[in-house]
A and B are shown apart, each in its own frame.
Chain A
Amino acid sequence: EDQVTQSPEALRLQEGESSSLNCSYTVSGLRGLFWYRQDPGKGPEFLFTLYSAGEEKEKERLKATLTKKESFLHITAPKPEDSATYLCAVRDPQNAGGTSYGKLTFGQGTILTVHP
């Protein structure tokens, strides 16, 4: 069974203090790793998709990277408005019938709090 593990569960940073969130996965034939941001009481907001090891994507203070076993979400000089839960998800590989249901398996998330 595919597993997605995110660490740490919670992270408290001071404004401007850069750090990284981790997402490790056990899935053969990765067909996409997704990062989302979720604010309290709201639905997840799509951030990035990564498909192959070595790939990197950036958006403002966020940069996502991918290796064969894990992904990192680097946050550079965070601001209080970056406080949220960050979720990663992996897309299941094709099933035996050759079709993909596009099912995503989500991790439990990392709760990021940035203090001013």
Chain B
Amino acid sequence: ETGVTQTPRHLVMGMTNKKSLKCEQHLGHNAMYWYKQSAKKPLELMFVYSLEERVENNSVPSRFSPECPNSSHLFLHLHTLQPEDSALYLCASSPALGDEQYFGPGTRLTVT
């Protein structure tokens, strides 16, 4: 595997389900990010981690819970989501905070 990988690529979940998104970076980077991309809206930054420490929580509802167990892996735990949470969720990494970011392919989430 190279670059940034994300699983699953597609996810359909009900409003009462609990699921997790996984991101792995194979670039040796120190910073990782979660973004939400909705139709016709700019990319929205959700969370930032640097060396496994969360440095930004961009006013994200508590039904989204990030976890960064090491500098190569990032998770986004989801529970009791709303239909408006349906979007493309993108993970990115960068060599350090502020450097150019490299994105994964995203997880297309649909909440029914």
B4 close to A100 (CB less than 8 A): no
- What are the residues of chain B within 8 A of A87 when measuring CB–CB? 43
Count the B residues whose beta carbon is within 8 Å of the partner chain — how many?
A: 27
- What are the residues of chain A within 8 A of B61 when measuring CB–CB? none
B104 close to A43 (CB less than 8 A): yes
Q: How close is A2's CB to chain B, nearest CB, in angstroms? A: 11
Q: How close is A44's CB to chain B, nearest CB, in angstroms? A: 5
- CB proximity to A under 8 Å, residues B62-90: 90
- With A43-B90, A44-B103 in contact, do A91 and B42 touch (Cβ < 8 Å)? no
Q: Which A residue's beta carbon lies closest to that of B43?
A: A106
Tell me which of B56, B99, B106, B108 contacts A103 (CB under 8 A): B56
Total A-B residue pairs with C-beta atoms closer than 8 Å? 59
- CB proximity to A under 8 Å, residues B86-111: 90, 92, 94, 96-106, 108
A49 interface residue per 8 A CB criterion: yes
- What are the residues of chain A within 8 A of B50 when measuring CB–CB? 102
Q: How long is the Cα–Cα vector from A104 to B97 in the complex, in angstroms?
A: 10
Q: How long is the Cα–Cα vector from A41 to B48 in the complex, in angstroms?
A: 23
- What are the residues of chain A within 8 A of B92 when measuring CB–CB? 43
- Quick one: CB contact mask for B41-56 with A, threshold 8 Å, 1 for yes? 1110100101000011
A103 close to B45 (CB less than 8 A): yes
Q: How long is the Cα–Cα vector from A29 to B92 in the complex, in angstroms?
A: 24
- What are the residues of chain A within 8 A of B21 when measuring CB–CB? none
Tell me which of A41, A42, A46, A109 contacts B101 (CB under 8 A): A46
Q: How close is A50's CB to chain B, nearest CB, in angstroms? A: 11
Q: How long is the Cα–Cα vector from A37 to B59 in the complex, in angstroms?
A: 27
B106 close to A43 (CB less than 8 A): yes
Q: How long is the Cα–Cα vector from A18 to B64 in the complex, in angstroms?
A: 43
Q: Which B residue's beta carbon lies closest to that of A49?
A: B100
A31 interface residue per 8 A CB criterion: yes
14 more A-B contacts (CB under 8 A) besides A43-B105, A46-B103, A102-B48?
Answer: A41-B105, A43-B4, A43-B92, A43-B103, A44-B43, A44-B103, A49-B100, A101-B48, A101-B56, A101-B97, A102-B98, A102-B99, A103-B58, A104-B45
